[in-house]
Amino acid sequence: MSEKIQDTIEEENSVTMLDVLREEKQLEEDAYAVLGASDDKNCTYSKGYTRQALYACKTCCPRSIRAGVCLACSFHCHEGHELVELYTKRHFRCDCGNSKFGEKKCNLETTKDSVNLENQYNHNFDGVYCVCERPYPDPEDNVNDEMLQCIICEDWYHSMHLECEQGMPLDGAYDEMICTGCMIKHEFLWNYAGKYAVFAKTQVPSSGKEVECVEVEKQPKGCTMPENDSVKTFTKGSCCFWSEGWRAALCTCKSCNTLYQEKNITFLLDPTDSVHAYEEAGKINSQESRYEKGMKALASLGRVEQLTAIEEYNNMKERLKQYLQKFAENKKVVREEDIKEFFSEMESKKRPKVVIPTYCR
């Protein structure tokens, strides 16, 4: 085999190995987005009400009962159950083992209040989302539509159901979204839209019912909420997309603070409330990623050792594919024990390391 062909093969194999590491990195980043700094071994109940990844167990709680369990409880108390992934919810305390679960107790935290009075539940806990009240993913829908979460009600919406009169911002050029229902409920937020909203078009459409931004009567001295005559008129019945840092612009005068309290949205002033802050906390608390470890390990190997590692990986990938094929053919669920058994057999069959003299190249 010519040296040029050999180098080409080696290069292709090297790319394959790097692709695996990059894919692993993307999976880890996706996990940070969902799990943040969540603990998979300890129930979060003792931490009180906090933003966290949650799951609804439909095996333990029928549709008429809404309850949420933390990540650790999903593993240690509800393994093998029908779980609905809820992404994250703010100010929530783990329900696992309380009165909503009947006689079933939490395996990790045995002493809990019968109910968590401050928890807020919506139809997501029933396994449905958006104004269409459909599950996600929807087995009856072939349209691959993006799901977006409102930062106030925390429900998820199909982009096609957002009633966005101004149009979706291009290329995801926004930081947060507030749904139509919440913008109607908290109409004063439109006063900030002139400076901090993100639109697909430079001009707001003139069609539809329009509403002027809320006029603040006798705006107190020191209040920084934009007055209605200083911003545009926006279309009523629309969601709103916001630019990064818009929350920091919210006025915190006494009058506005009272408004936030009356509407139960004081969390908008909390810099740790956003999902972005939640994700960053997960990255800070995480250990060195497998991608970083893998890249360091590859860099520390010589050329011969790198090729050997790549060859071993390809062998493992092919054997694992064949091993899992049997489960697919027999329609069997792959358990953790099966994977452990596979790698145990791989370890026992590992061939002895052969040191290749440098002069053979």
Contacts of 167 (CB under 8 A, 6+ apart): 199, 200, 201
Three-state SS at 269 = helix
CB 350 within 8 A of CB 361: no
pTM of the model: 0.69
Distances (CA, A) of 35 to 28, 68, 203, 250: 10, 15, 38, 28
Helix (H) or strand (E) holding 8: helix 3-35
Q: pLDDT for 7-50, tens place per residue? A: 444 444 444 545 555 555 555 555 555 676 678 899 999 999 99
Three-state SS at 176 = strand
- The reported pLDDT for the residue numbered 207 is 44
- The reported pLDDT for the residue numbered 298 is 60
Which residue did the predictor score with more confidence, 289 or 301? 301
State yes or no: pLDDT of 58 exceeds 90. Answer: yes
Q: Where are the domains of the chain?
A: 3-33+289-360, 45-126, 147-269
Check residue 106 and report its DSSP letter.
P
Q: pLDDT for 65-107, tens place per residue? A: 999 999 999 999 999 999 999 989 999 999 999 999 999 999 9
Minimum mean pLDDT among 92-96, 132-136, 296-300, 329-333: which range? 296-300
Tell me the pLDDT of the chain averaged across its residues. Answer: 79
Most confident of the ranges 167-171, 210-214, 346-350: 167-171
Look at the chain and count its residues. Answer: 361
State yes or no: pLDDT of 168 exceeds 50. Answer: yes
